[in-house]
Amino acid sequence: MSFVPHTDPERAAMLKGIGVSSIEDLFSDIPEHLRIEGLALPGAVSEIEAIDEVETLADRNVQTKDMDWFLGAGAYYGYIPAVVPALAGRGEFLTAYTPYQPEVSQGTLQAIFEYQSMTAKLLGMSVVNASHYDGATALAEAVLMAWKAKEGRNRIFLPKDLHPEYSQVIATYCTSFDIEFIRYEGDPAQAPIDERTAAIIIAYPGFSGEMYPISKASEKAHEKGALCIVQADPLMCAIFKSPGEQGADIVTAEGQCLGNPLNFGGPYLGMMGTTDALIRRMPGRIVGQTKDKFGKRGFVLTLSTREQHIRREKAVSNICSNQGLSMLQTCIYLATLGKNGLQEVAKQSYDKAHYAAQLIDIIPGYHVVPKLFFREFLVETPDSATKIVEALNKKSIMPGLALSHYYPERANELLICVTEMNTKAQIEKLASALKEAVK
Protein backbone atom coordinates (compact mmCIF):
# COMPACT_ATOMS: atom_id res chain seq x y z
CA MET A 1 0.00 0.00 0.00
CA SER A 2 1.68 3.20 -1.11
CA PHE A 3 -1.39 5.44 -0.66
CA VAL A 4 -1.27 6.40 -4.35
CA PRO A 5 -4.78 7.04 -5.69
CA HIS A 6 -4.06 6.64 -9.44
CA THR A 7 -5.79 4.06 -11.57
CA ASP A 8 -3.97 2.71 -14.61
CA PRO A 9 -6.02 4.78 -17.10
CA GLU A 10 -5.32 7.93 -15.08
CA ARG A 11 -1.64 7.17 -15.02
CA ALA A 12 -1.66 6.66 -18.77
CA ALA A 13 -3.46 9.98 -19.28
CA MET A 14 -0.90 11.77 -17.12
CA LEU A 15 2.04 10.25 -18.99
CA LYS A 16 0.43 11.31 -22.25
CA GLY A 17 0.01 14.83 -20.91
CA ILE A 18 3.68 14.96 -20.00
CA GLY A 19 4.62 13.54 -23.40
CA VAL A 20 6.47 10.42 -22.32
CA SER A 21 5.59 6.80 -22.79
CA SER A 22 6.55 5.40 -19.41
CA ILE A 23 7.41 6.45 -15.89
CA GLU A 24 10.88 5.04 -16.47
CA ASP A 25 11.46 7.85 -19.00
CA LEU A 26 11.07 10.41 -16.21
CA PHE A 27 14.05 8.88 -14.42
CA SER A 28 16.34 9.24 -17.45
CA ASP A 29 18.62 11.68 -15.59
CA ILE A 30 19.68 8.89 -13.23
CA PRO A 31 22.62 7.02 -14.77
CA GLU A 32 21.29 3.64 -15.78
CA HIS A 33 23.85 1.62 -13.87
CA LEU A 34 22.78 3.35 -10.67
CA ARG A 35 19.10 2.49 -11.00
CA ILE A 36 18.15 -0.49 -8.87
CA GLU A 37 15.78 -3.34 -9.52
CA GLY A 38 14.26 -3.44 -6.08
CA LEU A 39 14.90 -3.36 -2.36
CA ALA A 40 15.76 -6.32 -0.16
CA LEU A 41 12.75 -5.65 2.05
CA PRO A 42 9.56 -7.61 2.63
CA GLY A 43 6.63 -6.81 0.36
CA ALA A 44 3.79 -4.56 1.43
CA VAL A 45 1.36 -5.81 4.08
CA SER A 46 -2.20 -4.72 4.77
CA GLU A 47 -3.16 -2.27 7.48
CA ILE A 48 -4.49 -5.14 9.63
CA GLU A 49 -1.20 -7.00 9.41
CA ALA A 50 0.93 -3.91 9.99
CA ILE A 51 -1.00 -2.88 13.10
CA ASP A 52 -0.87 -6.43 14.39
CA GLU A 53 2.89 -6.63 13.89
CA VAL A 54 3.63 -3.33 15.63
CA GLU A 55 1.26 -4.14 18.50
CA THR A 56 2.90 -7.51 19.01
CA LEU A 57 6.17 -5.66 19.56
CA ALA A 58 4.47 -3.16 21.88
CA ASP A 59 3.11 -6.00 23.99
CA ARG A 60 6.64 -7.21 24.72
CA ASN A 61 7.48 -4.13 26.79
CA VAL A 62 6.90 -3.51 30.47
CA GLN A 63 4.65 -0.51 31.07
CA THR A 64 4.45 1.87 33.99
CA LYS A 65 1.08 0.43 35.01
CA ASP A 66 2.54 -3.09 35.26
CA MET A 67 4.47 -2.09 38.39
CA ASP A 68 4.41 0.44 41.21
CA TRP A 69 6.50 3.04 39.42
CA PHE A 70 9.27 5.10 41.08
CA LEU A 71 11.68 5.51 38.16
CA GLY A 72 12.19 9.01 36.79
CA ALA A 73 15.74 10.25 36.09
CA GLY A 74 14.77 12.74 33.40
CA ALA A 75 11.54 11.10 32.17
CA TYR A 76 8.47 11.30 34.40
CA TYR A 77 5.32 9.27 34.73
CA GLY A 78 2.58 11.82 35.25
CA TYR A 79 -1.11 12.03 34.51
CA ILE A 80 -2.11 13.37 31.11
CA PRO A 81 -5.70 14.63 31.04
CA ALA A 82 -7.85 13.01 28.34
CA VAL A 83 -8.38 16.31 26.56
CA VAL A 84 -4.65 16.65 25.79
CA PRO A 85 -4.24 13.85 23.22
CA ALA A 86 -7.85 14.28 22.05
CA LEU A 87 -7.22 17.89 21.00
CA ALA A 88 -3.56 17.72 19.99
CA GLY A 89 -4.36 14.70 17.82
CA ARG A 90 -6.79 16.63 15.63
CA GLY A 91 -5.69 16.33 12.02
CA GLU A 92 -5.69 20.11 11.56
CA PHE A 93 -2.90 20.38 14.13
CA LEU A 94 -1.21 17.05 13.47
CA THR A 95 -0.85 17.32 9.70
CA ALA A 96 -0.05 21.03 9.37
CA TYR A 97 3.42 22.25 8.47
CA THR A 98 5.51 24.89 10.18
CA PRO A 99 3.35 28.04 10.13
CA TYR A 100 5.24 29.97 7.48
CA GLN A 101 1.95 31.10 5.86
CA PRO A 102 0.34 32.87 8.82
CA GLU A 103 -3.10 33.50 7.28
CA VAL A 104 -3.79 29.75 7.17
CA SER A 105 -1.87 28.81 10.32
CA GLN A 106 -3.47 31.00 12.96
CA GLY A 107 -4.44 27.93 15.00
CA THR A 108 -0.88 26.72 15.38
CA LEU A 109 0.48 30.25 15.78
CA GLN A 110 -1.96 31.29 18.49
CA ALA A 111 -1.32 28.04 20.35
CA ILE A 112 2.43 28.72 20.25
CA PHE A 113 1.84 32.26 21.49
CA GLU A 114 -0.23 30.88 24.36
CA TYR A 115 2.46 28.32 25.15
CA GLN A 116 5.09 31.10 25.13
CA SER A 117 2.93 33.20 27.43
CA MET A 118 2.21 30.47 29.98
CA THR A 119 5.72 29.02 30.11
CA ALA A 120 7.38 32.44 30.25
CA LYS A 121 5.35 33.07 33.42
CA LEU A 122 6.13 29.62 34.79
CA LEU A 123 9.88 29.99 34.27
CA GLY A 124 9.92 33.71 35.07
CA MET A 125 11.46 34.74 31.74
CA SER A 126 10.63 37.43 29.16
CA VAL A 127 10.36 35.00 26.29
CA VAL A 128 10.28 31.25 25.67
CA ASN A 129 10.87 29.84 22.19
CA ALA A 130 8.70 27.33 20.34
CA SER A 131 10.88 24.37 21.38
CA HIS A 132 14.06 22.34 21.02
CA TYR A 133 14.35 18.56 20.55
CA ASP A 134 14.55 17.88 24.29
CA GLY A 135 15.89 19.27 27.54
CA ALA A 136 19.42 18.05 26.80
CA THR A 137 19.72 19.71 23.38
CA ALA A 138 18.10 22.87 24.72
CA LEU A 139 20.81 23.04 27.39
CA ALA A 140 23.57 22.33 24.86
CA GLU A 141 22.27 25.14 22.64
CA ALA A 142 22.12 27.43 25.68
CA VAL A 143 25.81 26.74 26.31
CA LEU A 144 26.68 27.70 22.73
CA MET A 145 24.44 30.77 22.95
CA ALA A 146 26.16 31.97 26.15
CA TRP A 147 29.63 31.21 24.82
CA LYS A 148 28.95 33.24 21.67
CA ALA A 149 27.36 36.07 23.67
CA LYS A 150 30.45 36.34 25.87
CA GLU A 151 33.07 36.51 23.18
CA GLY A 152 36.61 36.08 24.48
CA ARG A 153 35.54 34.03 27.49
CA ASN A 154 35.83 30.29 27.09
CA ARG A 155 35.02 28.79 30.50
CA ILE A 156 31.72 27.14 31.27
CA PHE A 157 31.03 25.92 34.80
CA LEU A 158 29.04 22.72 34.80
CA PRO A 159 27.64 21.01 37.92
CA LYS A 160 28.87 17.49 38.65
CA ASP A 161 25.32 16.77 39.72
CA LEU A 162 23.81 17.06 36.22
CA HIS A 163 21.94 14.36 34.29
CA PRO A 164 24.81 12.37 32.72
CA GLU A 165 23.10 12.21 29.32
CA TYR A 166 22.80 16.01 29.34
CA SER A 167 26.53 16.29 29.99
CA GLN A 168 27.17 13.91 27.09
CA VAL A 169 24.99 15.91 24.71
CA ILE A 170 26.75 19.14 25.70
CA ALA A 171 30.09 17.46 25.00
CA THR A 172 28.91 16.37 21.53
CA TYR A 173 27.53 19.80 20.63
CA CYS A 174 30.65 21.64 21.77
CA THR A 175 33.23 19.24 20.39
CA SER A 176 34.58 21.61 17.71
CA PHE A 177 34.90 24.65 19.90
CA ASP A 178 37.53 25.84 22.30
CA ILE A 179 35.39 25.69 25.42
CA GLU A 180 36.87 24.74 28.77
CA PHE A 181 34.36 22.93 30.97
CA ILE A 182 34.95 23.10 34.69
CA ARG A 183 32.90 20.76 36.86
CA TYR A 184 31.89 22.09 40.25
CA GLU A 185 30.31 20.38 43.23
CA GLY A 186 27.67 21.54 45.69
CA ASP A 187 26.27 25.06 46.03
CA PRO A 188 26.68 26.97 42.75
CA ALA A 189 27.25 30.15 44.75
CA GLN A 190 30.59 28.63 45.82
CA ALA A 191 31.79 27.81 42.29
CA PRO A 192 35.07 29.65 41.60
CA ILE A 193 33.92 31.55 38.52
CA ASP A 194 36.21 34.27 37.20
CA GLU A 195 36.60 36.86 34.43
CA ARG A 196 37.25 34.13 31.88
CA THR A 197 33.89 32.50 32.61
CA ALA A 198 31.18 32.82 29.96
CA ALA A 199 28.49 31.09 32.01
CA ILE A 200 27.65 28.91 34.95
CA ILE A 201 25.04 26.18 34.57
CA ILE A 202 22.87 25.47 37.58
CA ALA A 203 20.78 22.32 37.79
CA TYR A 204 17.51 23.16 39.56
CA PRO A 205 17.35 20.45 40.91
CA GLY A 206 20.46 18.36 40.30
CA PHE A 207 20.43 14.76 39.12
CA SER A 208 20.52 13.58 42.75
CA GLY A 209 17.46 15.71 43.48
CA GLU A 210 19.44 18.22 45.52
CA MET A 211 18.63 21.85 44.85
CA TYR A 212 20.08 25.17 45.88
CA PRO A 213 18.51 28.62 45.75
CA ILE A 214 19.92 30.40 42.71
CA SER A 215 19.95 34.10 43.61
CA LYS A 216 23.42 34.27 45.18
CA ALA A 217 25.01 32.31 42.36
CA SER A 218 23.38 34.46 39.68
CA GLU A 219 24.46 37.65 41.45
CA LYS A 220 28.00 36.39 41.63
CA ALA A 221 27.94 35.40 37.95
CA HIS A 222 26.72 38.84 36.95
CA GLU A 223 29.40 40.54 39.08
CA LYS A 224 32.01 38.61 37.13
CA GLY A 225 30.32 39.45 33.83
CA ALA A 226 29.15 35.87 33.23
CA LEU A 227 25.72 34.54 32.37
CA CYS A 228 23.63 32.29 34.55
CA ILE A 229 22.02 29.31 32.79
CA VAL A 230 19.48 27.30 34.76
CA GLN A 231 18.38 23.79 33.79
CA ALA A 232 15.04 23.57 35.59
CA ASP A 233 12.32 21.08 36.35
CA PRO A 234 9.36 23.05 34.96
CA LEU A 235 6.79 21.36 37.21
CA MET A 236 8.84 22.30 40.25
CA CYS A 237 8.57 25.93 39.18
CA ALA A 238 4.83 25.81 39.94
CA ILE A 239 5.56 25.83 43.68
CA PHE A 240 9.21 26.89 43.96
CA LYS A 241 10.63 30.27 42.99
CA SER A 242 11.17 30.48 39.25
CA PRO A 243 14.71 30.70 37.85
CA GLY A 244 13.86 34.08 36.32
CA GLU A 245 12.86 35.49 39.69
CA GLN A 246 16.29 34.42 40.95
CA GLY A 247 18.31 36.09 38.22
CA ALA A 248 18.67 33.46 35.49
CA ASP A 249 19.67 34.76 32.04
CA ILE A 250 18.78 31.58 30.17
CA VAL A 251 16.49 28.81 31.38
CA THR A 252 16.22 25.41 29.76
CA ALA A 253 13.94 22.58 30.78
CA GLU A 254 12.57 19.21 29.77
CA GLY A 255 8.86 19.73 29.25
CA GLN A 256 7.94 16.05 28.91
CA CYS A 257 6.48 16.03 32.42
CA LEU A 258 3.96 18.67 31.31
CA GLY A 259 1.57 16.51 29.31
CA ASN A 260 3.78 14.32 27.14
CA PRO A 261 3.92 10.53 27.46
CA LEU A 262 7.12 8.60 28.26
CA ASN A 263 7.35 7.06 24.77
CA PHE A 264 10.70 5.36 25.45
CA GLY A 265 12.44 8.72 25.47
CA GLY A 266 10.80 10.83 22.78
CA PRO A 267 9.36 12.94 21.34
CA TYR A 268 9.92 15.19 24.34
CA LEU A 269 9.96 18.96 24.66
CA GLY A 270 13.07 21.11 24.93
CA MET A 271 12.12 24.40 26.56
CA MET A 272 14.27 27.51 26.44
CA GLY A 273 13.58 30.97 27.79
CA THR A 274 15.65 34.10 28.11
CA THR A 275 15.68 37.77 29.02
CA ASP A 276 14.89 40.79 26.83
CA ALA A 277 18.61 41.46 26.51
CA LEU A 278 19.35 38.10 24.91
CA ILE A 279 16.24 37.55 22.76
CA ARG A 280 18.02 38.14 19.46
CA ARG A 281 20.67 35.56 20.34
CA MET A 282 18.20 32.84 21.22
CA PRO A 283 17.79 29.97 18.76
CA GLY A 284 14.45 28.46 17.78
CA ARG A 285 11.20 29.76 16.38
CA ILE A 286 9.38 32.58 18.13
CA VAL A 287 5.82 33.76 17.54
CA GLY A 288 4.83 37.39 17.92
CA GLN A 289 1.52 39.23 18.02
CA THR A 290 0.67 41.71 15.31
CA LYS A 291 -2.27 43.05 13.29
CA ASP A 292 -3.65 42.65 9.82
CA LYS A 293 -4.60 45.63 7.65
CA PHE A 294 -8.05 45.80 9.21
CA GLY A 295 -6.51 46.00 12.68
CA LYS A 296 -7.48 42.47 13.58
CA ARG A 297 -5.13 40.67 15.97
CA GLY A 298 -3.03 37.90 14.45
CA PHE A 299 0.17 35.98 15.05
CA VAL A 300 3.30 35.42 12.96
CA LEU A 301 6.70 33.78 13.23
CA THR A 302 9.03 36.63 14.05
CA LEU A 303 12.66 37.66 14.66
CA SER A 304 13.49 35.25 11.83
CA THR A 305 16.78 36.95 11.05
CA ARG A 306 18.26 34.72 13.76
CA GLU A 307 17.34 31.59 11.80
CA GLN A 308 18.97 29.31 9.25
CA HIS A 309 16.52 29.83 6.40
CA ILE A 310 17.38 33.54 6.36
CA ARG A 311 20.92 33.74 7.72
CA ARG A 312 22.36 30.38 6.60
CA GLU A 313 25.91 29.98 8.00
CA LYS A 314 25.49 33.08 10.18
CA ALA A 315 22.34 31.78 11.90
CA VAL A 316 22.40 31.37 15.68
CA SER A 317 21.58 27.66 15.26
CA ASN A 318 20.75 25.13 12.55
CA ILE A 319 17.43 24.17 14.17
CA CYS A 320 14.49 23.94 11.77
CA SER A 321 11.96 21.18 12.64
CA ASN A 322 11.25 21.38 16.34
CA GLN A 323 8.88 19.56 18.71
CA GLY A 324 5.74 21.48 17.72
CA LEU A 325 3.22 18.83 18.65
CA SER A 326 4.84 18.11 22.03
CA MET A 327 4.72 21.85 22.64
CA LEU A 328 1.02 21.84 21.76
CA GLN A 329 0.43 18.97 24.21
CA THR A 330 2.10 21.03 26.93
CA CYS A 331 0.10 24.11 25.96
CA ILE A 332 -3.18 22.19 26.32
CA TYR A 333 -1.95 20.52 29.52
CA LEU A 334 -1.16 23.89 31.12
CA ALA A 335 -4.45 25.41 30.00
CA THR A 336 -6.40 22.42 31.34
CA LEU A 337 -4.75 22.19 34.75
CA GLY A 338 -4.30 25.92 35.01
CA LYS A 339 -2.89 27.71 38.00
CA ASN A 340 -4.53 25.57 40.69
CA GLY A 341 -4.23 22.25 38.94
CA LEU A 342 -0.54 22.61 38.16
CA GLN A 343 0.25 23.67 41.70
CA GLU A 344 -1.73 20.69 42.96
CA VAL A 345 0.23 18.26 40.76
CA ALA A 346 3.51 19.77 41.94
CA LYS A 347 2.51 19.90 45.60
CA GLN A 348 1.22 16.30 45.65
CA SER A 349 4.46 15.13 44.04
CA TYR A 350 6.44 17.08 46.63
CA ASP A 351 4.38 15.79 49.56
CA LYS A 352 4.47 12.18 48.39
CA ALA A 353 8.20 12.28 47.67
CA HIS A 354 8.87 13.61 51.16
CA TYR A 355 6.60 11.03 52.73
CA ALA A 356 8.55 8.32 50.88
CA ALA A 357 11.93 9.83 51.82
CA GLN A 358 10.93 9.96 55.46
CA LEU A 359 9.94 6.26 55.48
CA ILE A 360 13.07 5.19 53.61
CA ASP A 361 15.54 7.27 55.60
CA ILE A 362 14.65 5.48 58.83
CA ILE A 363 15.29 2.00 57.39
CA PRO A 364 18.64 0.78 58.74
CA GLY A 365 21.33 1.05 56.08
CA TYR A 366 19.41 3.49 53.87
CA HIS A 367 20.22 7.16 53.77
CA VAL A 368 18.44 9.90 51.81
CA VAL A 369 21.15 12.14 50.37
CA PRO A 370 19.65 15.51 49.32
CA LYS A 371 18.64 17.98 51.99
CA LEU A 372 16.34 20.07 49.81
CA PHE A 373 14.54 18.31 46.97
CA PHE A 374 11.32 18.29 44.95
CA ARG A 375 10.08 14.84 43.90
CA GLU A 376 13.24 12.85 43.28
CA PHE A 377 16.00 11.93 45.70
CA LEU A 378 19.17 9.87 45.74
CA VAL A 379 19.34 7.14 48.38
CA GLU A 380 22.46 5.36 49.62
CA THR A 381 21.65 1.69 49.91
CA PRO A 382 23.15 -0.96 52.19
CA ASP A 383 23.61 -3.41 49.31
CA SER A 384 24.02 -3.22 45.53
CA ALA A 385 21.23 -1.05 44.14
CA THR A 386 21.03 -3.26 41.06
CA LYS A 387 20.26 -6.25 43.26
CA ILE A 388 17.66 -4.26 45.15
CA VAL A 389 16.01 -3.20 41.89
CA GLU A 390 15.92 -6.82 40.73
CA ALA A 391 14.44 -8.02 44.02
CA LEU A 392 11.74 -5.35 43.96
CA ASN A 393 10.92 -5.94 40.29
CA LYS A 394 9.90 -9.45 41.32
CA LYS A 395 7.33 -7.83 43.59
CA SER A 396 6.13 -5.62 40.72
CA ILE A 397 7.83 -2.54 42.07
CA MET A 398 10.16 -0.39 39.95
CA PRO A 399 11.99 1.36 42.76
CA GLY A 400 14.08 3.76 40.69
CA LEU A 401 17.37 3.97 38.85
CA ALA A 402 20.47 2.16 40.10
CA LEU A 403 23.18 4.79 39.63
CA SER A 404 25.55 2.11 38.34
CA HIS A 405 23.63 2.42 35.06
CA TYR A 406 25.68 5.57 34.44
CA TYR A 407 28.48 5.26 37.02
CA PRO A 408 29.66 1.64 37.51
CA GLU A 409 31.60 2.66 40.61
CA ARG A 410 28.50 4.01 42.35
CA ALA A 411 27.03 0.59 43.12
CA ASN A 412 25.12 1.43 46.29
CA GLU A 413 23.03 4.38 45.15
CA LEU A 414 19.43 4.42 44.03
CA LEU A 415 17.57 7.39 42.53
CA ILE A 416 13.91 7.33 43.57
CA CYS A 417 11.17 9.45 42.03
CA VAL A 418 7.66 9.94 43.36
CA THR A 419 4.95 11.65 41.34
CA GLU A 420 1.26 12.43 41.73
CA MET A 421 0.57 8.96 40.26
CA ASN A 422 1.89 7.14 43.35
CA THR A 423 -0.47 6.37 46.23
CA LYS A 424 0.30 6.26 49.92
CA ALA A 425 -0.14 2.48 49.84
CA GLN A 426 2.40 2.13 47.02
CA ILE A 427 4.89 4.28 48.90
CA GLU A 428 4.51 2.20 52.04
CA LYS A 429 4.88 -0.98 50.02
CA LEU A 430 8.07 0.41 48.47
CA ALA A 431 9.53 1.22 51.88
CA SER A 432 8.80 -2.21 53.34
CA ALA A 433 10.12 -3.95 50.22
CA LEU A 434 13.35 -1.94 50.44
CA LYS A 435 13.67 -3.04 54.06
CA GLU A 436 13.07 -6.69 53.21
CA ALA A 437 15.46 -6.62 50.25
CA VAL A 438 18.50 -6.33 52.48
CA LYS A 439 17.51 -8.64 55.32
Partner 1 sequence: MNAMNMRDEPLVYELSREGRIGCSLPRSDVPSKEIPLEIARSELDLPELDELTVVRHFTRLSQKNFSIDTEFYPLGSCTMKYNPKANEVVASNPGWKNLHPLVGEEYAQGAIELLWRLQEGLREVGGFAAASLQPAAGAHGELSGVLMIHAALKERGETKRKKMLIPDSAHGTNPASCTMAGFTTQTIPSGLDGGVDMEALRAALDDTIAGIMITNPNTLGLFEKNIEDICRLVHEAGGFVYGDGANMNALTGVFKPGRSGIDVMHFNLHKTFSTPHGGGGPGAGMVAANETLAPYLPGPIAVKADSVYRLEMPAKSIGRVKAFHGNFGVLVRAYCYLLMTGSDGLRQVAENAVLNANYLKSLLEKVYPVPYKRHCMHEFVAKGAIADTVHTLDIAKRLIDYGFHPPTIYFPLIVQEALMIEPTETESKETLDLFAEAMKRIAEEASKNPELLHDAPHIAPVARLDEVMAARYPILCYRG
Contacting residue, 198, 217, 287, 378, with partner 1 by CB under 8 A:
287
**Other CB atoms closer than 10 Å to residue 302's CB: what's the count?**
14
Q: Which is nearer to partner 1, 225 or 361 (CB)?
A: 361
Residue 131 and residue 322 in contact, taking contact as beta carbons nearer than 8 Å: yes
The C-alpha atoms of residue 411 and residue 389 are separated, in whole angstroms, by 12
CB of 275 to partner 1, least distance (A): 12
Asked if 267 interacts with partner 1 (CB under 8 A), we say: yes
Q: Which is nearer to partner 1, 91 or 192 (CB)?
A: 91
Asked if 46 interacts with partner 1 (CB under 8 A), we say: yes
Residues in region 109-128 near partner 1 by CB under 8 A: 110-111, 113-114, 116-118, 120-122, 126-127
Q: What are phi and psi of 30, to 5 degrees?
A: -85, 120
Q: Which is nearer to partner 1, 242 or 381 (CB)?
A: 242
The C-alpha atoms of residue 175 and residue 169 are separated, in whole angstroms, by 10
Contacting residue, 187, 190, 310, 407, with partner 1 by CB under 8 A:
310
CB of 184 to partner 1, least distance (A): 20
Asked if 328 interacts with partner 1 (CB under 8 A), we say: yes
| Cβ neighbourhood burial of 304 (10 Å; 0-12, 13-18, 19+) | middle
CB of 221 to partner 1, least distance (A): 18
Asked if 289 interacts with partner 1 (CB under 8 A), we say: yes
The C-alpha atoms of residue 428 and residue 356 are separated, in whole angstroms, by 7
Residue 75 parent element (H or E): none
The C-alpha atoms of residue 414 and residue 405 are separated, in whole angstroms, by 10
Asked if 315 interacts with partner 1 (CB under 8 A), we say: yes
Residue 141 and residue 265 in contact, taking contact as beta carbons nearer than 8 Å: no
CB of 199 to partner 1, least distance (A): 18
The C-alpha atoms of residue 185 and residue 50 are separated, in whole angstroms, by 51
Contacting residue, 53, 185, 194, 436, with partner 1 by CB under 8 A:
53
Q: Which is nearer to partner 1, 154 or 289 (CB)?
A: 289
Contacting residue, 182, 196, 224, 343, with partner 1 by CB under 8 A:
343
Asked if 90 interacts with partner 1 (CB under 8 A), we say: yes
The one segment of 180-188, 219-227, 280-288, 377-385 that binds partner 1 by CB under 8 A: 280-288
Contacts (Cβ under 8 Å, ≥6 apart) of 140:
166, 169, 170, 172, 173, 174
The C-alpha atoms of residue 212 and residue 206 are separated, in whole angstroms, by 9
Asked if 151 interacts with partner 1 (CB under 8 A), we say: no
Residue 127 and residue 117 in contact, taking contact as beta carbons nearer than 8 Å: no
The one segment of 58-66, 181-189, 219-227, 360-368 that binds partner 1 by CB under 8 A: 58-66
Asked if 352 interacts with partner 1 (CB under 8 A), we say: yes
Asked if 404 interacts with partner 1 (CB under 8 A), we say: no
Contacting residue, 8, 41, 394, 439, with partner 1 by CB under 8 A:
41
Contacting residue, 172, 190, 396, 432, with partner 1 by CB under 8 A:
172
| Cβ neighbourhood burial of 24 (10 Å; 0-12, 13-18, 19+) | exposed
